[in-house]
Structure 1
């Protein structure tokens, strides 16, 4: 039996594109407000609102849409027309309509690993939206379980690993966020592989762990089998 028996994957910007559509919506938001404010830090103020509202709305498009409305009202001193608010809300809903694009190598690697490992998804965000994206991806059959959580912390990972794996010490987490996908599962006792994405939200940034033998960084998910083999060789 291999040392690592379960592999957990983040979803957004690990299995499929996501952040690029939020960036497009940010630009649409700025275009809608250009006649009503000259705030030079409009995007920063939007991201600040999104971050502050995580405790109320969680991650995902609903909280993002509400934060756009809040920011629009704030930067215009509540002078923004109702018609513009309606267009901002429509831009938020459009996040549910973008075509889903899986990232390179994903289908190939999942097909390879499903024969030797239990595969699960651990993702955060709006439940409806995450379920929609998983169904549209065509990847659902690869996974033995899907966990959609409000936040990713060591306790969350420990609970999920106990439920769906042979324990944290035999589980590997794969994701594009150091803050959410790498540091918490390592703290829970698992292995972790970081797959950077060019558009990862600044909230998810953190320093890479140093001197951690259960951690690896790869350039793309196609390198995951080799990273697993390296862990097996060094820890087996």
Structure 2
């Protein structure tokens, strides 16, 4: 079924792994964490327990590097049966600091896409995560000037998007969201009557993965890279 984008007036962009690299740094950090805990468990078990801890802590800590670090520390205490050394805790904290100090690496075509689309559409940034960290990345990215509104959400569910669109007086039918996560950037928008384009990133956090049946019958387009959006919108 062909999707009609002629009524679009506002385009929302996700940030992490849509505009710039993010998840890769988390995967690298998990490998580093497993090395520090290798005396206590296998890498696979460490990875499983860390993810479980993240999911348990999500309602309390939310998303982002700081929440991830707290879950690593808590996992280290549990996996070591409270025998983890201060030196290892310090190393875990340094993993987090290193992540927060990473350069912002823009994905291919990002600036070209924003530059062209900003001439004909109102652009907004709608991302989730830690407020301070996302503000820092946005500042480092040099992309701030392309967006008329920036929203850092605690989560990306239907209610969050509906609230945002209501606040900005945007009709769902006139809104298009572009992002790498089916769970966070596509399905919630389709479910509230808005449009969405999926731009997959090569690495996806397990929490963001969806079952095939969840996408059945949902109307959205998938493109291989962000630059392809210019073939759809003009």
Aligned twin of 2:83: 79
2:158 to 126, 139, 154: 154
Instruction: State the TM-score, normalized to the length of structure 1.
Output: 0.92
Give the Å deviation of 1:86: 1.2
Instruction: Please state whether the residue corresponding to 1:41 is helix, strand or coil.
Output: helix
Name the CA distance, whole Å, in 2 between partners of 1:111 and 1:162: 26
| Other-structure match for 2:26 | 22
Deviations 1:79-121 (A, max 9, x none): 1111111111111121111111000011001000000000001
Which residue of the other structure, out of 124, 130, 138, is the alignment partner of 2:128?
A: 124
Structure 2: runs of 5+ lacking an equivalent: 1-5
Corresponding residue for 1:234? none
1:189-210 per-residue CA deviation (whole Å, 9 max, x = no partner) reads 1000000001110110113623
- Whole-angstrom distance in 2 between the partners of 1:161 and 1:81: 48
Candidates 211, 217, 227, aligned match of 1:211: 217
Counterpart of 1:94 in structure 2 is: 98
**Residue number in structure 1 paired with 2:138:** 134
| Equivalent position SS for 1:228 | coil
Q: CA deviation at 1:223?
A: 0.8
What pairs up with 1:21-60 in 2 under 5 angstroms? 21-34=25-38, 36-39=39-42, 40-60=44-64
**Per-residue CA shift, 1:39-72, capped at 9, x if unaligned?**
3411111111112111010000011000001111
TM-score (norm 2): 0.93
CA distance in 1, matches of 2:202, 2:24: 9
Q: Which residue of 2 aligns with 1:223?
A: 228
Residue deviations 1:144-189 (CA, integer Å, cap 9, x gap): 0010011111111111112235311100011111111111111121
Please state whether the residue corresponding to 1:198 is helix, strand or coil: coil
C-alpha distance in structure 2 between counterparts of 1:128 and 1:79, whole Å:
32
Task: Give, in whole Å, the separation in 2 of the partners of 1:137 and 1:156.
Answer: 25
> Which structure 1 segments of 5+ residues have no match?
230-236
Q: What is the alpha-carbon distance in structure 2 between the residues aligned to residue 199 and residue 61 of structure 1?
A: 17
Aligned residues: 227
Distance in 2 (alpha carbons) for counterparts of 1:210 and 1:115: 34
- Separation of aligned partners in 2, 1:133 and 1:82: 30
